Structure 1
Amino acid sequence: MRTYDGQCHCGAVRYQARTDLAAMMDCNCTNCRRRGWVLQSVPAADFRLLAGEDELTTYRFNTGRIAHLFCRHCGIQPFARGRDGEGNELVMLNVNCLEGLPVIDRSTIMHWDGLHR
């Protein structure tokens, strides 16, 4: 486990997240596919928003259960908030927004079929 710093493009939204990046995935839903996300889920307790709460804009689609959060200045979605199947709060990190990221071997990423859920 390591603590990563993350941010939107302009830096108005900054956060820290603790993760081992062991369960990275991509999703084929219309939103994730168009954005080219690489996702990593972390428990809400392992995420800390450092700056920019008031700079975030929320977008919900499909079931509306996930709060897709965007910086209102640069439009980047650095993370999303939701709950897992047991109701636990989680944060889905946009791995591409993390600093000091190791090279990602995309062939090792799990694929989530969000399009058909």
Structure 2
Amino acid sequence: MDKLFNASCHCGAVKFSVKLTDGFNTIRRCNCSLCRMRGAVAVSAQLGDITFLGGEDKLTEYRFNTQTAKHFFCSVCGIYTHHQRRSNPSQYGINVACFEGVSPFDFPEVPVMNGTTHPTDTKAGALIAGYLRYSESD
């Protein structure tokens, strides 16, 4: 069931909406060098399922290593909003913390993908490196 989410960066300069055709079933973290440092939980959306409502000109792009994945950040507040995926260039990975009413802490368990050995670099495909678990303290 498709669900539409409104989203923005921290300062609100970048505003967008995202249609998720598979809900939060693609939620994940990654252990590549960039994802380890940014710490975001992402979910997949098709390229055509993101609509910028304002501030697209405030986005800045970062690429590294193979220069394939395009990572986008607000140039005002620095928040990572989304990236065009290397493993599936027809999709964006969207930072769930940008969605209105959604927190990365809403998910008790998030798979962590092995991005240090990228799925396109091996015949094994995407591998889970572990799980990030969250539980509230008593």
Give the TM-score normalised by structure 2. 0.75
Paired with 1:21 and 1:3, the residues of 2 have a C-alpha distance of: 12
Paired with 1:89 and 1:116, the residues of 2 have a C-alpha distance of: 21
Q: Tell me, yes or no, if structure 1 residue 112 matches structure 2 residue 113.
A: yes
Q: Which runs of 5+ in 1 are unaligned?
A: none
Q: CA RMSD in A?
A: 1.7
Paired with 1:52 and 1:23, the residues of 2 have a C-alpha distance of: 26
Query: What whole-Å deviation, never above 9, does each CA across 1:4-49 have from its counterpart, x for those lacking one?
Result: 1111111111110111111100000111111111010111121111
Q: How many residues end up aligned between the 2 structures? A: 114
Q: Which runs of 5+ in 2 are unaligned?
A: 119-138
> Paired residue for 1:49, among 29, 48, 52?
52
In the alignment, what sits opposite 1:12? 13
In the alignment, what sits opposite 2:28? 25
Shift of the 17–4 alpha-carbon distance from structure 1 to 2, 3 Å rule, reads same
Bigger relative contact order (CA 8 A; separation at least 6): 1
SS at match of 2:53: strand
In the alignment, what sits opposite 2:93? 92
Give the TM-score normalised by structure 1. 0.87
SS at match of 1:78: strand
In the alignment, what sits opposite 1:79? 82
Kindly report structure 1 stretches of 4+ aligned residues shifted beyond 4 Å: none
* Structure index of larger Rg: 2
Q: Tell me, yes or no, if structure 1 residue 38 matches structure 2 residue 41.
A: yes
